[in-house]
Every structure is written in structure tokens, then in C-alpha cells.
Structure 1
Amino acid sequence: MDQSGNKHAIITVGICFLIAVIEGMDIQAAGIAAAGIREYFGLDSSQLGIFFSTGILGLLPGALVGGRIADRIGRKAVLIWSVAIFAIFTLCTVWVNSFNTLLVVRFLAGAGLGAAMPILITLASEAVSVEKRGRAVGLMYCGMPVGAAILSLVASTEFGANWKNIFYLGGLLPIIVIPVMVWLLPESKEYLKAKSEVKTDGAVASVSQGSFKDLFNSKNLLQTLFIWVSYFFTLMVVYIMLSWLPSLFTELGFTRKEGATAQFYFMLSAAVGTIILGMLTDRWKKAYVIILMYGGILSGLLALNAADSLTQMYLASALVGAFVIGCQGVLYAFGGIVYPTEVRGTGVGVASAVGRIGAMLGPTIAGSLLTAGFGAAGVISAAIPCIVISAVFMLLLIRRI
């Protein structure tokens, strides 16, 4: 890649990393602000659960629509509007004065963020050559756990003790990033190339744009089904860990502060794991990467079940974090590899939406298992079949690419 191409890639991945940091902060925001929101709005546990789910629910239509529009009118414009929508409605979270309005603004903020994620993956993938897509997506997506870890640290300060400050921060940061995107973020070269081609007589002809149905043509059908299953079950486990890890620690007899510390280690190792697995995706045989990352998740889950000291629990949390979040980054990279340019945004967007369904179901199932008396060990054990299924379907996928 020439110097111009390197500059294009560095700027694109860097800006996408910043937006992923903002996503990571938002993932943590609801949980960190939960106690303050509960008191401010006078919510019971059921209403608080609805509040958690609404933000995730908003990711679904966002992911479906964002990638599709980006394939039609361009990655950059749709990403800027998505981030703007997220910023506006995150700030509105601070200003609403009823529970129903709170749910509406969280849903709309989630829709903005959901639209952004498939475009981030697509832009990072298309900024580099095919041989470097794994590391590009890994470097971009490691921003998610970095953002979550940053907000965990902010929450431990006097500033973070006020729940409104959490959402002020979450809304103002993307507003600061938007001008940077407008001025510096380049449009995807692959998108521009696919959108039009120069004919021999110099006229520009528009290349036919992909559609949802192209995900199910003879070439893409099995890849689409395989990646959907893997996204669904992997994100189910990811969000069980993101939502319930501190509570699982409490179930196992540790303090809430120790649970929060475990989540910090989880996120810190997740950032490192995402980068390393992304690099290995480019350098190793894809099957080896799949076996390593799902084997790592299984090892971490078993270690969580077997650990009987605080140090062992912290190490197990770090192990799970490195592989479970890193695995999500690798799946996103595969989305960029599996689909051709004209349907890449659509394909990754729909797969992300399917994954978000798993993300919504995971914490709910975990809560039901805890309520039914299965305990933390039961929740962790229930995650193991999900990982096995995901691994099998990813191995089937790589046989076709």
C-alpha cells in the first residue's frame, strides 16, 4: 500500500476507533447510571430491566437500516448522521422527566449507535487490503472495551457519581468527534469504485446496488446463515458477561466492589485480546484462529466456575474478556471478508441485528436462571453450549471462503 493509502487507512481506522470507544462507554453507561436513574424516576426492578433492554432493542433497526443505506448513498454520510442521532438522544436522556419518554430517547439513541456499528466495520475493512482486514477491524473494535474501561474509571470519581454526568459525557463526546469526521474521514475507496465505473468512452455508469435478497442468493446463502448463527450465540454470551459479571461475582460470595474490579480486568484484557486475535486472523489459517478463540472462551468459562479465590476469579475474568470480546471483533472482521463490496454494509448490518437479538435474550435468560435458583455456576454452564454451536458454524463458514 502506498503512502497515500496508508494515511487513508490510519485516519479511517483511528476515527472508527474513537466511535467504538463511545459505543463502549454507552454499553457501560446504563449499568453505571442504573442506581441514580432508579431513584430519580422511582423505578422498580422490572422497569429498570425494561430500561436496559430498550437501548439494546434500538440497536436492531439501526443495524438493519444503517448498513443498507450506507451501501446506497455512502459510508461517511450515514456514519455522521448515525453518530449525530446517538449524541442528541443521549443528551436527551438527561432532560426527560417521565419513564416512557426515557424509554423513547434510549431506543432512539440505540438506533443511532446500531446504525453506526456495521458502517465502522465496513469502513475499517475497506480502508485496507484483504490481507489486513482482521487487524484493521481488531484495532478499530478494541475501542469498545477501552471505552467501557474508561467509563468504569470515571464512575469511581465524584464526577461519575452523578448519573446525569455519565450521559452528558456520552452525548458531548460524539458531538466533538462529528466535525473531525466531516473534515478528515475519507469515503471508502472500495465503495466509490463499486458505485461507478468509467466506460471506454469516458461515460460513468452506475453499478447495480446490492439488496437484502442478495444475501440469500446461491453464492451468499450458506455464508449468511452460518454467520448469523455465530453472531447470535456469540453475542448472547458477550452480553451475559457484560451485563451480569459483577452480579455473578456477588452470587459467588464476593463484594460488589470486587465484581466491578473484575469487570475492569475483563475490559482491559478484552482490548488486548481484540487486537491480537485480529492480527492472527490475517496471519494464521482461519480455522486455527476459530479454534483458539472459542477454546479460550470455554477455558475462561470453566475457570470462572472452578475458581475459589479472588485472584483466580480476576484471572478468569481477564481470560474470558480477552477471548469473548476479541471473538466478537473477529466475527465482525469475517463479516467484512465474507461479503462483496456492494452488499458488505447490508450483510454486516443484518448479521449485527441478528446478533443483537442474541444480545437481548442472553441477559434475560441469565436473569431467569438466577431467579430459578441455578446460581452463577448455572449461568456460566448454560453459556458453554452457545460457544460450541458458534465454533461449529464458524468452522463451516471458513470452509466456504
Structure 2
Amino acid sequence: MLKDAEIASKSSKIGMIITLVLCFIFAIIEGFDLQSMGVAAPRIKAEMLLDSRQMGWIFSAAVLGTLPGALIAGRIADAVGRKKVFIFCIVIFGFMSLLTPFAKDLNTLLLVRFLTGLGMGGALPIVITMVSEAVPEKYKATAVSIMYCGMPIGGVLTSVVALSLTADHEWRHIFYIGGIAPLLLVPILIFLLPESKAYLTRSTQPKSKKQTLVEVLFAKPRVLITSSLWISFFGTLLVLALFQNWLPTLISGLGLNKEQASYIQIGFNLGGSIGVLILGFMLDRLNKFVIVASVYSGILLSLIGLAYSNSPSSFIIFATGCGMFVIGCQSILYTLAAKYYPTEMRGTGVGAAVAIGRLGAFAGPLVAGYLLGTGQSEIVVIASSIPMILLAAISALILLRKPEHSTNRKESLETATS
């Protein structure tokens, strides 16, 4: 019996490591695609003769697709399993990204980017859920942070690829890479990725009455949790998407050349990688309220510093700070979303929060495009994100006053919504 227990424990650890590694690789690929349009934007804009408002819609098309993708995929994953839905979403994401370079006009480009976002949005809440369910409770924040660290690493790779492209028409290579990589990952996931044990355990238990989406999200114990998460996700992702898509263009508008803008983008993403790892480690070990308050304070200071920078070195410093705190903060929110919902509704809860966050990410590039299109300066665009960060910070701190869902206690699924 003891030997069987040791074998089971070893098998469980191997499954956990495989899940973390594969989800980390996916995060790199998704991070690459999330910033591919921002890096390619100046060249696409010149080739297709587009204005700033049209570019804002292109940036937001993929983000808009992630909204229904996250909500629908998370709900289905709670019903039929994480792995199947995850792989299906990656296939959509890969094919649509690969089709992006073949778009010949604005409408086709908008449609392809929307469908790319549909796949990306569906995969993201599932990968967060799978990682959080693969590790013990006390390591959830660290595990999600390690996985999410792949996102800014992917962004760095996007900038590195962009630096290697000499001709303007070569922007298409970014999307060839971004499309082929997820499709190559699919067969590996089919054969190696284990299904979530938490989901499998839950699926063998007697089924209780299935709750509606409204009951899952807004039953009496979860009204404040869901509302606070949604506001925090919306505000933080609005700022993150604004910088992921518009940072190279904003920096170029302030007088720096394309090469300097690429280095600043690299600084933003490297800062994000550092922030994600450090903050995830701290979140599992220190006072969450203090950490979240400090992170949002760091975002505000970095935004102010970036708005008033006047040299390439100061731009790099404050862009790195923005990446460290904004991307790190988003990783914290993903961890909290997974902690505040039980297994049987985790995919739905995380998916809904991601969907609302993507609504903010959809608005961010549009707001920037509108402000630039009306003649506002780059400094005004950066400063316009400060009110949303303040609102997101307040909501996140309110959330932390509520107790997390504990895996050691049962939560009644028959809670009244009144």
C-alpha cells in the first residue's frame, strides 16, 4: 500500500510539472501574439494607409473576440473538462493568427483578429484554472505567476523579432511565427497534458442542481467578490492593453526612433516578467492587502514618470516600472480570481472576470486612438489611464476584505441569489 501511495504521489508530481511547463509555453505564445499587432502597427498603418482611429479598432478587434471566448469557454470547461476546450481554443487561435498576414483590407483584418481573439480569450481562463488546480493551495499564486511570466517573455520575443526585420513588408513574419507556434503545440498537448484532477474528482461526485450563470456569479456570498473582481480586471487590463498596443506608437510620437521604441517595449516586458515572479512569490507568503496596495501605487508612480519623461533612458526606466507593476498586477488578479471560486464554478468565474477584463482591454486602445485622432498629445493619452487605475485599486482592496474560498470546506451550491 505504501509503495502504491509513493507511485501515485510521484505520478501526481510529474503531472503537475508537465501541466506547468506546457501552460508556460502556451503563455509565451499568447504573449507573443498579444503584442504582435502593437509591434507591427506602424508598418501596417503605412502599408494600408490607415489613420489612428482605424488602428484603434484593429487593436481592439482581437480583444473584443476574447470577451465571448473567455465567457463561453470557461462555462463549457466546467461542464465537459478543461483539456478538450483548451486545445480547441488553441487551434482557432493558431489558424486565425496565421491568416492575419493575408488580410488585404481593413474589414478582413478586423474579422481575422476578432476570431484570433476568440481563441485566445477562450484559452486564457482555462490555462489559469488548470495551473491553479494542479498545485497545492499554498503555492497557487506562485504557480499562476510562473505561468503568467510567459506572457511578457512572449512580448520580449515579439520585439526581438521586430528588431530583426529590416523591410517594412516583413511585418507578416511576426504573424507567421505567432500562428505556427500554437499549432505545433496542439499535438504535444493532446498526448502529454493531463486533465485537471480537481475537475476529474468533482465529475465523479453526485451532481447537484446546475446553477445558471447569474447564480454562479451573483449568488449572495459572491456578489461583492464578482463585482470587485470585474472592476479591478476592467481597469487594470484597460491600461495593460493600451500599453501593449500603443506603446511603440506613443514613444515614436514623442520623438524616439523605431529602434529606441523597440528597446522600450523590451524593457516594459522584461519588467513584467520580473514583477510577475516576485509578486507571485510574495503573494503566497506576505500580507495580500499590503502587496496589492503597493503594486497599484507603483503603477501610478510609473505612469506619472512615463508621462513626463524627456530622455530615452528615463523612458526605459519608467516603461520597465509600468511593465513590472501593471503586468505583475494582472497576474495577481488572475490568482485571486482562481482562489475566490470553488472547483465546480472556477472556469465560469475566472472566464467571466477575464471577459470583463477584455472589455477594458477593448476600450483602452480605442480611447488612445480617439485621443490621438482628436489631436491630443501622447502625454494626455498616458495620463488618461490614471483614473481607471485608481478605481481598479479601490475595488481590489475591497475584494481582499472578503475571505477566499477554501478547498477544505464545502460551499453549498444551492445558495439563494436573493
C-alpha displacement of 1:299: 1.9
Identity, % of aligned pairs?
A: 42
Correspondence 1:151-170 to 2 at 5 A: 151-158=158-165, 162-170=170-178
Residue 135 of structure 2 corresponds to which residue in structure 1?
Answer: 128
Classify 1:23/1:283 alpha carbon distance in 2 versus 1 (closer, same or farther; 3 Å). same
Matched-pair contact (CA < 8 Å) for 1:12–1:124: yes
- Runs of at least 5 residues in structure 2 that lack an aligned partner in the other structure: 1-7, 404-418
C-alpha displacement of 1:297: 0.8
Q: Of residues 217, 220, 234 in structure 2, which corresponds to 1:218?
A: 220
Residue 89 of structure 1 corresponds to which residue in structure 2?
Answer: 96
Q: Distance in 2 between matches of 1:160 and 1:327?
A: 36
Q: Of residues 258, 261, 265 in structure 1, which corresponds to 2:260?
A: 258
Matched-pair contact (CA < 8 Å) for 1:135–1:278: yes
Letter in 1 for 2:76: I
Q: Distance in 2 between matches of 1:241 and 1:356?
A: 14
- Runs of at least 5 residues in structure 1 that lack an aligned partner in the other structure: 198-204
Classify 1:101/1:140 alpha carbon distance in 2 versus 1 (closer, same or farther; 3 Å). same
Structure 1 counterpart SS, 2:402? coil
Classify 1:64/1:289 alpha carbon distance in 2 versus 1 (closer, same or farther; 3 Å). same
Residue 83 of structure 2 corresponds to which residue in structure 1?
Answer: 76
Letter in 2 for 1:49: G
Classify 1:140/1:256 alpha carbon distance in 2 versus 1 (closer, same or farther; 3 Å). same
Mapped pair 1:62 → 2:69:
yes
Q: Distance in 1 between matches of 2:20 and 2:74?
A: 18
Q: Distance in 2 between matches of 1:95 and 1:74?
A: 34
Q: 1:177-224 CA deviation, whole Å, 9 max, x = no partner?
A: 111111111111111111122xxxxxxx33555541211101111100
Letter in 2 for 1:20: A
Mapped pair 1:185 → 2:186:
no
Q: Of residues 180, 195, 198 in structure 2, which corresponds to 1:172?
A: 180
Residue 410 of structure 2 corresponds to which residue in structure 1?
Answer: none
Residue 206 of structure 1 corresponds to which residue in structure 2?
Answer: 207
Matched-pair contact (CA < 8 Å) for 1:235–1:359: yes
Q: 1:325-349 CA deviation, whole Å, 9 max, x = no partner?
A: 0100110011100111111111111
Q: 1:52-71 CA deviation, whole Å, 9 max, x = no partner?
A: 22111111110111101101
C-alpha displacement of 1:42: 5.4
How many aligned positions are there?
394
Mapped pair 1:138 → 2:145:
yes
Matched-pair contact (CA < 8 Å) for 1:209–1:342: no
Q: Distance in 2 between matches of 1:168 and 1:151?
A: 12
Q: 1:14-71 CA deviation, whole Å, 9 max, x = no partner?
A: 1111111111111122123335544665545544333222111111110111101101
Residue 157 of structure 2 corresponds to which residue in structure 1?
Answer: 150
Residue 22 of structure 2 corresponds to which residue in structure 1?
Answer: 15
Residue 200 of structure 1 corresponds to which residue in structure 2?
Answer: none
Matched-pair contact (CA < 8 Å) for 1:121–1:137: yes
Correspondence 1:311-322 to 2 at 5 A: 311-322=313-324
Mapped pair 1:112 → 2:113:
no
Letter in 2 for 1:360: F
Correspondence 1:42-53 to 2 at 5 A: 43-53=50-60
Classify 1:142/1:196 alpha carbon distance in 2 versus 1 (closer, same or farther; 3 Å). same
Q: Of residues 358, 361, 365 in structure 1, which corresponds to 2:360?
A: 358
Q: TM-score, normalised by structure 2?
A: 0.89
Classify 1:371/1:159 alpha carbon distance in 2 versus 1 (closer, same or farther; 3 Å). closer
